[in-house]
Structure 1
Amino acid sequence: MDLQQMRYVLAVAETANFTRAAERCHIVQSALSHQVARLEQELGARLFERTSRRVRLTAAGEAFLPAARQALEAAERARAEVAAATGEIRGRLAVGSIPTLTAVDLPAVLREYRRRYPRVRISLRAVSSERMVEQVRDGRLDAGFLGVPPGFRPQGVRDRELAHGRHVAVVAPGHPLAREREVDLHRLVDEDFVDFAEGSAARAQSDEAFAAAGLRRDVAFEVSSAELMARMVRHGLGIALLPATFAAELHDLRSVPVTDGPVRVERLIWSRFAPSPAAAAFLALLGADTSPPEAGG
């Protein structure tokens, strides 16, 4: 068994197709199929069920895949550690972020990071705050930027507060509220709202603020992105509650301060374990302290 065979298995699993997997791995299909068959023979179990219509993992394949991923990641980490010891930062950096991040100019940070460390392969994923904590905890992401209610503390990761601010009501220019200097939640409760999915951290800040005021509102439209939320508001379908710093960038919409509105905290999170050289360099660029926490701390 070798690492290349594991890469072939992973490619087949992710594409569900031997031809596409071979193209991804820059190898002819017959050679890839031969290597997968050799690995199956060595393991004494078939990893894939092959039919004329589809390819899918067997139970043995499902069991093999996580260990194969870990082995490939460990090999990548070993190469990166050796390179770092000789003064070169290389490897991979996976970052997650909410779409409404404002505490950090993330494109500018990533541009500077790429300038300093051109050998690092960077990936950025738009992820909900809840999933981001899980993915940083299990190592799928090196770092993440959350937007959560003040009382939310991510479990199983290290974190640092970046910003703390109130939401504003975002309305179309022709909306009656657009002329107001400020409003409170009682003025908003009868409006149709555009918001994120119920149960998400992005939605929780607003739900908790209305609940604390003893009010119930109607979220008529649930969306998955701030961009779609702004478009819905722009067409007069409802109003939204968004962080003031983010709303300020929506120049064709009106932002109205809400005196008792939701509060959001933006947090940076990263693994409790020693970061890879690439991740350590990224966190250092953000001023995060990656030294091991003191015992009992």
Structure 2
Amino acid sequence: MDTRLLKHFLVLSETLHFGRASELCHISSSALSRSIKQLEDSLGVALFERDNRTVSLTREGVKFQRYARDALSHWDMIRNALLEEAQELQGELSMYCSVTASYSFLHDILRRFRSSYPKIEIKLHTGDPAPAPNRVLNGDEDIAIAARPDSLPSALAFKSIGLSPLLFIAPVDDPVLAPHVDKPIEEINWSEVPMILSEQGLARSRVDRWFSNKALKPNIYAQVAGNEAIVSMVSLGFGVGVVPKIVLENSPLADRVKVLPVTPTLPAYDVGVCVLQKKLKNPLIEAFWAQL
């Protein structure tokens, strides 16, 4: 069965750039254009709106994107079900995690998985961990490493792989911040301390709750995406930040910051792997899940 047209469409729908999409598909831009035109001619509708500068999905393109993802997923499922007895699973899994998770939690998992299933290709994307569960829920990724949400959506399956406390960190011996934080923890006036916080996600909601319980409004200096950037800004003396311990332990800047023993402590991250419940029947995902 030739699934190339669907794959070409999905890559373009994710990149919205003919040049990048053609590189990822290992074909020329003109060949990619022919694939899209062939699909649009077959369907009788335009899937993309394009001009000299931009490419975007039409309303019909958004609907077809959902179909294409499901169709390729079902194709992989039946193909690998037929190959399962011969232990020749092959295909592709897309994964999402933070940079830190990619070389801490994920490294050992992938090493074992690749040894057992060398024919399964892994397409890894890294970025801010906050949207990781939603990327799985939306069908953008098959698997993600993420902190367990306070309320786990019923559509998600989650398997814990470790705990990581959330820590308040400050720069070491910074002349500007020292008067604010180099004192007994109970004497810190938190309303005067500049804070560097995540834009969104679990850490942000827990920090906001921490300040609310103290009847304080945080003095937010910066809101950033990615915990690694928070460690960097804190080490430069811009403010106090909150990051998971696993990020601090793996940061090259760890010796330039210190942990503040705040009370009460923030609830730890329950770090784990999440997939869609309905995709656990996919032999590729089932094999990965069993390795955890």
From 277, 282, 287, the counterpart of 1:276: 282
Distance 2:2 2:143 in 1: 30
Percent of residue pairs bearing the same amino acid type = 26
Q: Contact 1:147–1:264 (CA<8 Å) still a contact in 2?
A: no
Q: Which amino acid aligns with 2:262?
A: V
Q: Contact 2:181–2:188 (CA<8 Å) still a contact in 1?
A: no
1:49: how far off?
5.1
Determine helix, strand or coil for the equivalent of 2:210: helix
- Per the alignment, residue 76 of structure 1 pairs with 76
- Per the alignment, residue 268 of structure 2 pairs with 264
Cα-Cα RMSD: 3.5
Q: Contact 1:92–1:122 (CA<8 Å) still a contact in 2?
A: yes
Q: Contact 1:8–1:32 (CA<8 Å) still a contact in 2?
A: yes
TM-score of the pair, normalised by structure 2: 0.77
Q: Does 1:222 align with 2:223?
A: yes
Determine helix, strand or coil for the equivalent of 2:75: helix
Determine helix, strand or coil for the equivalent of 2:216: coil
Q: Contact 1:208–1:262 (CA<8 Å) still a contact in 2?
A: no
Distance 1:285 1:257 in 2: 37
More helix by share: 2
- Per the alignment, residue 156 of structure 2 pairs with 157
1:245-273, Cα deviation, whole Å (9 max, x unpaired): 54344233212222313223314233222
| Structure 2 gaps, min length 5 | none
| Structure 1 gaps, min length 5 | 287-297
Distance 1:20 1:159 in 2: 33
1:68: how far off?
2.5
Q: Contact 1:165–1:243 (CA<8 Å) still a contact in 2?
A: yes
1:201: how far off?
1.9
Which has more radius of gyration?
1
Determine helix, strand or coil for the equivalent of 2:125: strand
Moved more, 108-117 or 44-53: 44-53
1:201-226, Cα deviation, whole Å (9 max, x unpaired): 22111111111122222111111112
- Per the alignment, residue 173 of structure 1 pairs with 172
- Per the alignment, residue 293 of structure 1 pairs with none
Q: Contact 2:89–2:117 (CA<8 Å) still a contact in 1?
A: yes
Q: Cα gap change, 1:16/1:98 in structure 2, threshold over 3 Å: closer, same or farther?
A: closer
Determine helix, strand or coil for the equivalent of 2:255: coil
Moved more, 42-51 or 104-113: 42-51
Distance 2:223 2:27 in 1: 44
Distance 2:66 2:138 in 1: 12
1:125-164, Cα deviation, whole Å (9 max, x unpaired): 3455663333333443333333357x44344212345555
Q: Which amino acid aligns with 1:229?
A: I
Moved more, 70-79 or 13-22: 13-22
